[in-house]
Structure formats: C-alpha cells, structure tokens
Structure 1
C-alpha cells in the first residue's frame, strides 16, 4: 500500500467492514498526530494493523462492559507494544 492518510489507509486495507467501522470511530476521536503515528507504524509493519485493530475492539468492549481492570490491562499491553515499536 502506498503512503496514504489514516482514513484512506484503513479503507484500502484488508480489514473486514466491521473492523473498518471500529477504525472510523477511533479516528474520529484520535488527534491528528496520534493517527499519523499509527499510520507510520502500519506503513513500516502492516501486520501491526491487525494487532491494533484487535486492541481497539478489546478496549471498546472493556469500556462498554465497565471492566476497568481489563481496560487498564489492555492499555498496559498497548504501552508495551508502543515502547517496543519505538526502539
């Protein structure tokens, strides 16, 4: 995939329609710098797109179920992954 804006990248990805909707919702609230950082990660390693997609869905599920412990666990895993990717 060529270098695109985050919205176009997601729409052109091989994600399912439901996963694309999850990203549409997320990109609507993520600031431009954060979405650009994610896009940079995906351009470097396209496999990360599925990991972050699953992570987004898990965070949403934890929020909707009110499971703060699970949400915090997911955030910790995400921080670890972002630290790993930034090295």
Structure 2
C-alpha cells in the first residue's frame, strides 16, 4: 500500500517502521474502522489518536502530525 514510509518524527522516534510494518498497521486500522462501523469511526479514530498521543508524551509532535494528516483534506480540495 505504501511506497515509502511516512517520515518519522525525528525527536520522538524509537525505531523506524518498515513498509511492511506500516502495511500491517494500515490493515489493522482498516479492519477496526469497518468493525466499529461508519457511525462510530470518527470516535474510534479520535480515541486512537489520543491514546497514541499519550504514548508520545508531549503535545508538539502530535500537533505537527495533526497538521500533516489534515493537509490537503479540506472539503474544497476534495471536490472533483
């Protein structure tokens, strides 16, 4: 699925994930999004993001990743 790994946050990286690791994470994420259903997927993703943010331990890298994840995903940019 991923040609190259997403760039890791250099200040909070314990080890770089391989493309195979990212694919495994992607598959698990997709399966659980399907499992919880569309009505709870936003809640699931928010809960996951907060749990992962807690693992990172500081807000700055999490806030930077939020900006990266939302880049180019506004309603205007998604219109055909």
**Same fold flag (TM > 0.5):** no
Q: Which has the higher contact order (CA 8 A, sep 6+)?
A: 1
Asked which structure has the greater CA Rg, the reply is: 2
Question: Taking structure 1 as the reference length, what is the TM-score of the superposition?
Answer: 0.32
Question: Taking structure 2 as the reference length, what is the TM-score of the superposition?
Answer: 0.34
User: Which has more helix, going by share of residues?
Assistant: 1
